[in-house]
Amino acid sequence: MIALHADFKLIYKLLTKIMTEKKLKLTGGTVDSVVIRFVGDSGDGMQLTGTQFSDTSAMMGNDIATFPNYPSEIRAPQGSIYGVSGFQVQIGHATVHTPGDEVDVLVAMNPAALKTNLSSVPVGKTIIVDTDSFNKKNLQKAEYDENPLLTGELNNFVVIEAPITTLTRESIADIGLDNKAMTRSKNMFALGMVFWMFSRPLKYTETFIDKKFAGKTQLIEANKRALRAGFNFAETIELISSAYTILPAKMDPGIYRIISGNTATAWGFLAASEKSGRPIFLGSYPITPATEILQELTAKKYFGAKTFQAEDEIAGISTAIGASFSGHLAITTTSGPGLALKGEAIGLAVMTELPIVIVDVQRAGPSTGLPTKPEQSDLLQAMYGRHGESPVIVVAAKSPADCFNMAFEASRLAMEHMTPVILLTDGYIANGSEPWKIKKTEDLPIIYPNDLKSSREEWMPYKRDPETLAREWVLPGTPGFEHRVGGLEKKDGTGDVNQSPENHQLMVKLRAEKICRVKNNIPLMQVDGAQEGDLLVIGWGGTYGSLFTAVNHLFESGQKIGLMHFSYLNPMPKNTEEILKKFKKFIICELNMGQLHTVMNSKFPEYDYFKFNKVQGLPFTVLELTQKFEQILNNQ
Amino acid sequence: MSEQTNPVLTFKDFQSDQEVRWCPGCDDYIILRAMLKALPEMGRKKEDFVFVSGIGCSSRFPYYVGTYGIHGIHGRAAAIATGVKLANPELSVWVMTGDGDAMAIGGNHFIHLIRRNINIKIVMFNNEIYGLTKGQFSPTSLIGQKTYTSPYGNIQPPFNPGQLTIGSSGKYFARVPGNDPKMMEELFVKAEKFKGTASIEVLQNCVIFNDGAFEEITNKETESENQIRIEHGKKMIFGKNKDKGLILKGFKLEVVNIGENGITEDDILVHDAHEADPTLHLMLVRLQNPVVMGEIRRIEETSYDEVYVERMESVAKKSPFKNLDEMFFSGDTYVVE
């Protein structure tokens, strides 16, 4: 192991004595999966700490699922309850589909973090606290009358009290940083401790520190030393008799990387651009939690992606519509409030039949709502939130890595069918990350935009492909095909302005039929678990991980339960009704008040659907789902 | 199709097959005619023009020009045009808009297009009224003006389009009377050559809801006394007998009679459209009597789209990856066996 610095040895000896006196004992051993949550002030670096831990674990072959949970304030007042920022990761030796319900190890950097997270920690699990932060001021801010470390209220947990701030400062005192800068490294100390607990190597994080602080030798030294000090501290005090061991997960062979949903979305678009030969144009206005897509594509400008930070949401989509007219893979990214603003412009794209992808990274609403918390409450807005009969394709991603697939699919469908496509993700999968089995571009399907095929004589602006009903995409600069498109109703075929009653009805039907026929160009629905039986769980989008885990657990225990999870919401896969016919009971689970429930009731009214809804700005827990499903299964 | 790169085109080549449907007597017909005459003079291919509009009487314009075009949604023409141009910087992109479309509902896009200085031409038909919705006041309607939504007189102070353009860091502003096709045609051709956002205000008479709004300025009897047509490098002289001019007195422009009180032609200001400092240009756009026509401001700088293209190219050269796959497999990847 790593040699200890002479001075530290002394400190550690003293501490070992303290800890031994407290008779700390932890149970360790081999486990299937562990949930760890790092919580602290929004400025404490908890997101970075969590990311380092999960990335390192993934490198070791564990499957991981992460969930950053942070406040909308950038730097909320120190020590306050609403300023608590957390990062949860589940690491597993089996495939993990969620960041986990209950926390096995909670790292709480201050009293507020402990207070707000204690309810997620079951009795008997481990809590690591920074005792330095449990002073009078912080206890008051966290609304503790007495110090919970002294009252005995934590007696049922394994509490590891470590003076993390002091130890961090001691370990880096001679580097020459001021107090504030020294204290900042305390997250690395905590990370070092957890690395020891789970037998993780430090190498990955050390390389990361080298890169992050390149050129700032003092900071590199401070962070590395704090990390090592934390690791050694945990070892020296024999924090646990034998560390947790989590064997590598059984995953498909291949090359993996950890990817977040927003990055995967951006990369999916890059891949779609390559496979369609159409350059990207992204017109967007920054909005939480969608902004990273704009940032990522801007950073990857060298692949020819044009990005444009517009003056507002409406300008974002309007520039994209203009770029679509000019022949680009046109995209705009937003969240719920922005989707509301873009509604009129989406109608223009419907009328002009121009391809465009609108990404809505959903967040809890209405209005500004809970900007950093996930919800699935924009489904009906995506389906129907425009004036007039204005159908569009609606698709949804089910996990961080799946954002790559669905961004690619949204682009493919937009350009092959000449229509706007709304891609729904959410703050949970957009900020969460998981291993992505990297796809080679050669293995992705070719996208065939509905380009000009007709001769000059037979071509008309609204001449349609007989199979898909898509009109041809003819770009400015093409001689002899000059034409005008616009928001006024178009005459069938010629595209001339026309307001006759029969023509309007015909065009409304054609636009609806065009979207309906997309079902011929999307995969069939695959059911997880039982293919027929007692209970069909129905879901869509980012809840897949929790739903799958709960359903699979019951299925493996012998229940006839299946999961039908929608990636394609409008139109739905052709075999949707066939699947419904094979089950007795149905439950639709959503992070809203029942929006897919409304859609299913209108599309397939002959079935009775239970519903299970949650609107707390939090994902489903596997436990609450399992209990609900068991309740329905047992009532039969 | 002929293989000729720049075929000689005529007025007729730019007409569309659509029936023009503005009110009889509307200045819009004059603007359309001037544009159809100007387009062949610009020396560009027909397929490289794109006309973009929002909503309003002016915004029907793209249907009547036989080039590519988009009739967009209310206020958003500037944003749509931005996308058209950035996606294909080779195109000549024109925004046809009105006072309500550009400065009320589309005010945000108007000022930001101008601020960015993208090579797009804006032709704003200013009739100081809402025409298509039938007679409500607009952001350029005058105080006291009676409209259907201001039956007791408008109390909202108006925007001055020139002032708004310059206030938005505009590099180009011109004004032209709606009844002068010759001057319009010349201006359109000149504006097309300008590299950046050109903001052109046309004083356009609405015969139905605000007839005669510019009567005193554009009436053939009085125009020479009430208008001053300025050109870069020339003295700012006007009047039927070319006997009046503009001088700077203190911080204000003043109209003087040449030959009176010892004023000679030498005292008259020379128009410098290329002066970067906007002080004098602001005085010119605000002048009420006479009203200034012509290219008031024309500052040639690098346009946004030029920088945009240049940046794309320079960044592409520095790409750390040969292709997407290389990026996908770069950095922290790991193998599962």
- For the ranges A8-12, A72-76, A196-200, A292-296, the one whose mean pLDDT is highest: A292-296
Query: Which chain A residue lies closest to B325 (C-alpha atoms)?
Result: A440
Distance of alpha carbon B305 from the chain centroid: 18
Distance of alpha carbon A377 from the chain centroid: 15
What are the boundaries of each domain within chain A? 27-244, 257-443, 527-634
Q: How far is A265 from chain B (nearest CA, A)?
A: 13
Query: Which chain A residue lies closest to B46 (C-alpha atoms)?
Result: A479
Q: Chain A partners of B76 at a C-beta cutoff of 8 Å?
A: 314-315, 318, 345
Contact B84 A326 (CB under 8 A): yes
The angle at the Cα of A227, spanning A221 to A229, to the nearest 5 degrees, equals: 95
The pair of three-digit structure tokens given for residue A90, joined into one six-digit string: 């589940």
- B262: alpha, beta or left, given left = phi > 0 and alpha = psi -120 to 50? left
Residues 64-83, chain B, touching A (beta carbon < 8 A):
66-73, 76, 79-83
- Whether residue B95 contacts residue B81, with contact meaning beta carbons closer than 8 Å, is answered with yes
Q: Is the pLDDT of residue A469 over 60?
A: yes
Contact A302 B88 (CB under 8 A): no
* Domain covering A257-443, topology: Rossmann fold (3.40.50)
The angle at the Cα of B231, spanning B228 to B233, to the nearest 5 degrees, equals: 130
Q: Which residue has the higher pLDDT, A264 or A100?
A: A264
Secondary-structure class of domain A527-634 per CATH: alpha beta
Q: A286-303 pLDDT, tens per residue?
A: 999 999 999 999 999 999
CA A146 to CA A132: how far, in whole Å?
15
Q: Which helix (H) or strand (E) holds A288?
A: none
Banded model confidence at residue A2, pLDDT cuts 50, 70, 90: very low
Contact A322 B324 (CB under 8 A): no
The pair of three-digit structure tokens given for residue B186, joined into one six-digit string: 């010349």
- Whether residue A255 contacts residue B333, with contact meaning beta carbons closer than 8 Å, is answered with yes
Q: Chain A partners of B45 at a C-beta cutoff of 8 Å?
A: 479
Average pLDDT over residues A529-538: 98
Q: A622-632 pLDDT, tens per residue?
A: 889 999 999 99
Q: Chain B partners of A479 at a C-beta cutoff of 8 Å?
A: 1, 45-47
Tell whether A41 is within 8 A of chain B (Cβ).
no
CA distance readout (Å), B26 to A130, B19, B209, B213: 78, 15, 11, 13
Average pLDDT over residues A259-271: 97
Q: B17-29 pLDDT, tens per residue?
A: 999 999 999 999 9
Listing DSSP states for A41-65 in one string gives: ETTS-HHHHHHHHHHHHHHTT-EEE
Contact A58 B334 (CB under 8 A): yes
Tell whether B29 is within 8 A of chain A (Cβ).
no
Query: Residues 6 or more apart from B92 whose CB is under 8 A from it?
Result: B42, B44, B48, B49, B50, B121, B192
Contact A308 B83 (CB under 8 A): yes
- Whether residue A49 contacts residue A77, with contact meaning beta carbons closer than 8 Å, is answered with no
Q: Chain B partners of A302 at a C-beta cutoff of 8 Å?
A: 315-316, 318-321
Q: What is the mean pLDDT of chain B?
A: 96
Query: Which chain B residue lies closest to A273 (C-alpha atoms)?
Result: B324
Average pLDDT over residues A367-390: 95
What is the reported pLDDT for B111? 98
Banded model confidence at residue A9, pLDDT cuts 50, 70, 90: very low
Instruction: Give chain B's domains with CATH numbers.
Output: 1-213+302-337 (3.40.50.970), 219-294 (no CATH)
The pair of three-digit structure tokens given for residue A589, joined into one six-digit string: 């689970």
CA B66 to CA A483: how far, in whole Å?
7
Tell whether A257 is within 8 A of chain B (Cβ).
yes
Average pLDDT over residues A45-66: 88
What is the reported pLDDT for A30? 60
The CATH number of domain A27-244 is 3.90.79.10: no
Q: Chain B partners of A211 at a C-beta cutoff of 8 Å?
A: none
- Whether residue A446 contacts residue A278, with contact meaning beta carbons closer than 8 Å, is answered with no
CA B171 to CA B184: how far, in whole Å?
19
Q: A486-513 pLDDT, tens per residue?
A: 999 999 999 999 999 999 999 999 999 9
Q: Chain B partners of A274 at a C-beta cutoff of 8 Å?
A: 324
Helices (H), A22-157: 46-59, 111-117, 136-141, 148-151
Tell whether B85 is within 8 A of chain A (Cβ).
yes
CA A599 to CA A391: how far, in whole Å?
14
Q: How far is B294 from chain A (nearest CA, A)?
A: 30
SS (H, E, C) chain B: CCCCCCCCCCHHHHECCCCCCCCCCCHHHHHHHHHHHHHHHCCCCHHHEEEEECCCCHHHHHHHECCEEEECCCCCHHHHHHHHHHHCCCCEEEEEEEHHHHHHHCHHHHHHHHHHCCCEEEEEEECCCECCCCCECCCCCCCCCCECCECCCCCCCCCCHHHHHHHCCCCEEEEEECCCHHHHHHHHHHHHHCCCCEEEEEECCCCCCCCCCCHHHHCCCCHHHHEEECCCCCECEECCCCCEEEEEECCEEEEEECCCCCCCHHHCCECCCCCCCCHHHHHHHHCCCCEEEEEEEECCCCCHHHHHHHHHHHHHHCCCCCCHHHHHCCCCEEEEC
Average pLDDT over residues B94-107: 98
What is the reported pLDDT for A1? 28
Average pLDDT over residues A457-484: 98
Residues 36-65, chain B, touching A (beta carbon < 8 A):
45-52, 55, 62-63
The residue among B58, B96, B322, B324 with the most chain A CBs within 10 A of its CB, best to mutate, is B324
What is the reported pLDDT for A152? 85
What is the reported pLDDT for A456? 96
The pair of three-digit structure tokens given for residue A480, joined into one six-digit string: 């002899």
- Residue A82: how many other CB atoms lie within 10 Å: 12
Q: Is the pLDDT of residue B246 over 80?
A: yes
Tell whether A343 is within 8 A of chain B (Cβ).
no
What is the reported pLDDT for A20? 42
The pair of three-digit structure tokens given for residue A359, joined into one six-digit string: 């990404």
Contact B81 A322 (CB under 8 A): yes
- Whether residue B243 contacts residue B228, with contact meaning beta carbons closer than 8 Å, is answered with no
Contact A485 B70 (CB under 8 A): yes
Q: B205-235 pLDDT, tens per residue?
A: 999 999 999 999 999 999 999 999 999 999 9
Q: Is the pLDDT of residue A18 over 50?
A: no
Q: How many CB pairs under 8 A join A and B?
A: 208
B22-29 contacts at long range (C-beta below 8 A, 24 or more positions apart): B22/B57, B22/B60, B23/B207, B23/B208, B24/B207, B25/B207, B26/B57, B26/B204, B26/B205, B26/B206, B26/B207, B27/B125, B27/B127, B27/B178, B27/B179, B27/B202, B27/B204, B27/B205, B27/B206, B28/B57, B28/B58, B28/B61, B28/B125, B28/B204
CA distance readout (Å), B335 to A91, A248, B136: 17, 12, 68
What is the reported pLDDT for A287? 97
What is the reported pLDDT for A636? 54
What is the reported pLDDT for B4? 46
Tell whether A605 is within 8 A of chain B (Cβ).
no
Tell whether A330 is within 8 A of chain B (Cβ).
yes
What is the reported pLDDT for A6? 37
Of residues A352, A482, A497, nearest to B47 (C-beta):
A482
Of residues B62, B87, B334, nearest to A484 (C-beta):
B62
pTM above 0.80, yes or no: yes
Q: What percent of chain B has pLDDT over 70?
A: 98
Q: Chain B partners of A315 at a C-beta cutoff of 8 Å?
A: 76, 79, 82, 108-109, 112
Q: Chain A partners of B2 at a C-beta cutoff of 8 Å?
A: none
Contact A328 B337 (CB under 8 A): no
Nearest to A553 by CA among A599, A622, A476, A481: A622
Q: Which residue has the higher pLDDT, A33 or A343?
A: A343
Query: Which chain A residue lies closest to B14 (C-alpha atoms)?
Result: A482
- Whether residue A193 contacts residue A239, with contact meaning beta carbons closer than 8 Å, is answered with yes
- Residue B62, preceding bond cis, omega within 30 degrees? no
Banded model confidence at residue A240, pLDDT cuts 50, 70, 90: low
The pair of three-digit structure tokens given for residue A327, joined into one six-digit string: 């022949």
Q: What percent of chain A has pLDDT over 90?
A: 75
Banded model confidence at residue A239, pLDDT cuts 50, 70, 90: low
The residue among B332, B335, B337 with the most chain A CBs within 10 A of its CB, best to mutate, is B332
Residues 475-494, chain A, touching B (beta carbon < 8 A):
475-488
Q: B114-158 pLDDT, tens per residue?
A: 999 999 999 999 999 999 999 999 999 999 999 999 999 999 999
Residues 55-74, chain A, touching B (beta carbon < 8 A):
55, 58-59, 61
Tell whether B8 is within 8 A of chain A (Cβ).
no
- Whether residue A12 contacts residue A3, with contact meaning beta carbons closer than 8 Å, is answered with no
Tell whether A440 is within 8 A of chain B (Cβ).
yes
Q: How far is B328 from chain A (nearest CA, A)?
A: 7
Q: Find tokens 């291919």 and name the residue.
A: B45
What is the reported pLDDT for A25? 37
What is the reported pLDDT for A32? 75
What is the reported pLDDT for A7? 44
Identical fold between A27-244 and A257-443: no
Average pLDDT over residues A265-291: 98
Query: Which chain A residue lies closest to B63 (C-alpha atoms)?
Result: A484
The pair of three-digit structure tokens given for residue A40, joined into one six-digit string: 């602290």
Nearest to B303 by CA among B196, B168, B170, B198: B196
What is the reported pLDDT for A83? 86
What is the reported pLDDT for A38? 95
